[in-house]
Amino acid sequence: MFNTLKKLLCFLALTAVTSAISAAEKDTTFVATGNPIVSYKYLGDPAAMVYDGTVYIYAGHDECPAPEQYYLMNEWCILSTKDMKTFTEHAYTFKAKEFKWAKGEAWASQVIERNGKFYWYVTVEHATIPGKSIGVAVADSPTGPFKDARGSALITNDMTTQYTSIPWDDIDPTVFIDDDGQAYLFWGNTQCYYAKLKENMIELDGPIMPINLPRYTEAPWIHKHGEWYYLSFASEFPEKLCYAMSKNINGPWEYKGILNELAGNSNTNHQAIIEFKGKTYFIYHNGSINPHGCGFRRAVCADLLEYNPDGTIKRIQMTTEGVFK
Ligand code: FUB
């Protein structure tokens, strides 16, 4: 009798633990009522992708406990929405340590689709080559599971030392597939770089080339609207977001000034720009989660981006209301 009771208690305890675990592993759906989109956890470096009528936002998870003041980022999280109002945060997260050659540190990233596969370009700290590196993971679905596509870094610090000796210049990948099918990787801190990617998306297809942009810091993002290519980027520090335009992905890039002012509550402001259902969205981070939000505990926001008739972009207005009507 005593043994049976013990077994029953044991079973009940295990069931409770299992339910708690599955609850934590479930997707979370919520309606955004204003900026930031997610206010229950800190997320930074949003990269957005539109695929099959859905917006996906990939963001690094800021885990820095207050009052500590540096990045603590082990994983990236995924949000999705079909209407920019009701969002799902997917239970699946992708961890920086899934790259066996990396020490960790889930810095900025971007996902792109090609031929039904999803490629996630990420910044991580390399385990044996000093400095930051860019890795690429692949999945059959935009929400994973993702796995290291190469088993080694795509870009390492030693590949760019001719341009700068700092060990953190190889960060912040942004990827773009041009109308002729050629894919390009842009990245860089202090110095902006770009290179062609092979059709397989996991190997470079030519040399690494520098792009000189005034007061360039980091966070490049490439997008195209009409005939214009746009290269937006973080400038100076604390960062404003600026942009340049060109009629050719290979440049020359004409600097066009400030796109978004200082966030004020975050020293970085990393942006993504997407077109979705007739509107252009500017998705970025600031430090707007009260009371401990800051440059290391960031929050993902969305506002509208509008063009002038000549293709230049109107200054972004960061709002508390956001775009979620
Ligand atoms: O999240 C870490 C770093 O902060 C990113 O790589 C930069 O773009 C800046 O947002």
| DSSP codes joined into one string, 127-188 | SSSSSEEEEEEEESSTT---EESSSS-SB-GGGSTTT---TT-S---EEEE-TTS-EEEEE-
Cα dihedral 99→104→109→113 (10° resolution) = 20
pLDDT value, residue 10: 37
Q: 97-125: per-residue pLDDT in tens? A: 999 999 999 999 999 999 999 999 999 99
Tokens of 161: 């030392």
Q: Which of 45, 71, 301 for mutating ligand 1's site (highest number of atoms within 8 Å of CB)?
A: 45
Atom of ligand 1 nearest to the CA of 218: 8
**Ligand 1: distance of its center to the CA of 3 in Å?**
56
Residue identified by tokens 């030392």 is 161
Per-residue pLDDT tens over the stretch 254-264: 999 999 999 99
Indicate which residue's Cα is closest to atom 1 of ligand 1.
107
pLDDT digits (tens, 9 = 90+) for 156-167: 999 999 999 999
State the pLDDT at residue 5. Answer: 42
Contacts of 259 (CB under 8 A, 6+ apart): 232, 240, 241, 242, 243, 271, 313, 315, 316
pLDDT beneath 70: ranges in the chain: 1-24
Q: What is the pLDDT of residue 25?
A: 80
Distance CA(75)–CA(41), nearest Å, equals 13
**Beta carbons of 322 and 301 less than 8 angstroms apart:** yes
**pLDDT for the residue 141:** 98
